[in-house]
Amino acid sequence: MVRAMLGQAFGLSNSEINDRLNIKTFITQGDRELSGSLAKIGGKGLFTKEIEWALLHGEADIAIHSMKDMPAQMPDGLVIAAIPTREDPRDAFVCDIAGLPWELPKGSVFGTSSVRRRAQVLNRRPDLKIVPLRGNVGSRLQKLEAGEVDAMLLAEAGLKRLNKSEIRRTVLEPEEMLPAVSQGVLCVQMRSDDSRLHLVTKALACAITGLTSATERAFLTHLDGSCQTPIAGLATLEGKRLFFRAQLLSLDGQEALSLSEALTLGTDTTEERLEKAAEFGIKIAESIYNAAPASIQKLVRAA
């Protein structure tokens, strides 16, 4: 997808794209270790370290990540070159026996390895049995078809990018299930000294997604959130109004705290707007942490 966007931006034909923009794939630690949850095998950097090593050592010039996978700090010498337009950030409920997670029969088996999804589901349905579910979309769907689980949640962004229109699902509005921070956002990463950096930035960067992502990333970074903490958050921009909704939960979902705030942005420069967006994210992180019960504060501090 990113290669196609670059090709279009620079007016390359399909043959020129294939010749000049080669794709090299990497199997990361997060791809290899599919047993158990991400929290148990480390959380931060599981899907980025091998790719960042390739960038730093000249084996790759441009790296594409899911922003959800990006640690707060990146290695010296690397920068975020661009944040393209965001895909649908919502969660999709995939199930043959119910239209919503809350409509599942008592004791149904729900598959997820996301501590955020686990906590949000248990918050409303503590009777459900949660089992780990890792792997790509195809392997997860196979487990559903085989009856290993009764239901699951997938990122709608992933289903759209894979053109999985045939998969029956219910897309959950943020008011019903707040998504993970940066869900649906891509991160284009390059070496800071690459002379082509500004060209990639100009070709791929989306100003709106960059602004909302700055809020979400600052919020998560200030909380030092990881795969071990049930944190949800979504920033949206409507005209000059930047809205942010956040949620913190206990691991078992029995305690939950939500917060929603808005910020009016003026006619500042792009850099000033990004700075204000980040400050907004930090402000909300502090507010929700201070209002959280001691058990959730302890969980955040331990991450």
Task: For residue 73, name the pLDDT band (cuts at 50, 70, 90).
Answer: confident
Predicted local confidence at residue 26, as pLDDT: 82
Query: Is 241 inside a domain boundary?
Result: yes
Query: Is 60 inside a domain boundary?
Result: yes
pTM exceeds 0.75 for this model: yes
Residues 74 and 193 both lie in one domain: yes
Q: Is the pLDDT of residue 167 over 70?
A: yes
The domain that holds 234 is classified in CATH as: 3.30.160.40
Query: What's the average model confidence in pLDDT over 185-212?
Result: 96
Q: Please state, in angstroms and rounded to a whole number, the distance separating the CA atoms of residues 280 and 264.
A: 10
Q: What is the pLDDT of residues 260-302, one digit of tens each?
A: 999 999 878 889 999 999 999 999 999 999 999 999 998 888 7
Q: Strand, coil or helix: what is 94?
A: strand
Query: Is 62 inside a domain boundary?
Result: yes
Q: Do 282 and 219 contact (CB within 8 A), yes or no?
A: yes
Residues 70 and 191 both lie in one domain: yes
Residues 106 and 68 both lie in one domain: no
Catalytic residue (choose from 19, 69, 76, 88): 69
* Radius of gyration of the chain from its Cα atoms, rounded to whole angstroms: 20
Q: Do 81 and 6 contact (CB within 8 A), yes or no?
A: no
Say what percent of the chain tops pLDDT 90. Answer: 78
**Region for 147 from its dihedrals, namely left if φ exceeds 0, alpha if ψ lies in -120 to 50, beta otherwise:** left
Helix (H) or strand (E) holding 92: strand 91-95
Number of domain units in the chain = 3
Q: Is the pLDDT of residue 42 over 60?
A: no
Predicted local confidence at residue 136, as pLDDT: 82
Query: Is 179 inside a domain boundary?
Result: no
Say what percent of the chain tops pLDDT 70. Answer: 92
Q: Please state, in angstroms and rounded to a whole number, the distance separating the CA atoms of residues 187 and 205.
A: 10
Q: Is the pLDDT of residue 176 over 90?
A: yes
Q: What is the pLDDT of residues 218-264, one digit of tens each?
A: 999 999 766 688 999 999 999 999 999 999 999 999 999 999 999 99
Which positions ≥6 away from 155 have C-beta within 8 Å?
Answer: 91, 92, 179, 183, 184
Predicted local confidence at residue 29, as pLDDT: 65
Query: Is 65 inside a domain boundary?
Result: yes
The domain that holds 20 is classified in CATH as: 3.40.190.10
Integer angstrom CA distances of residue 121 from 49, 103, 170, 252, 289 = 31, 11, 15, 9, 21
Residues 199 and 212 both lie in one domain: no
Query: Is 180 inside a domain boundary?
Result: no
Residues 61 and 196 both lie in one domain: yes
Q: Is the pLDDT of residue 43 over 60?
A: no
Helix residue spans in the chain (DSSP H): 2-9, 14-20, 29-32, 49-56, 115-124, 137-145, 156-161, 197-204, 207-223, 270-291, 294-302
Residues 66 and 117 both lie in one domain: no
Neighbours of 278 (CB within 10 A): 20
- Using the CB atoms, write b or e for 90-113: b if 16+ within 10 Å: bbbbbbeeeeebeebeeebbbbbb
Query: Is 177 inside a domain boundary?
Result: no
Among 42-46, 161-165, 199-203, which stretch is predicted with the lowest mean pLDDT?
42-46
Domain carrying residue 162: 91-172
Residue 69 annotated to the active site = yes
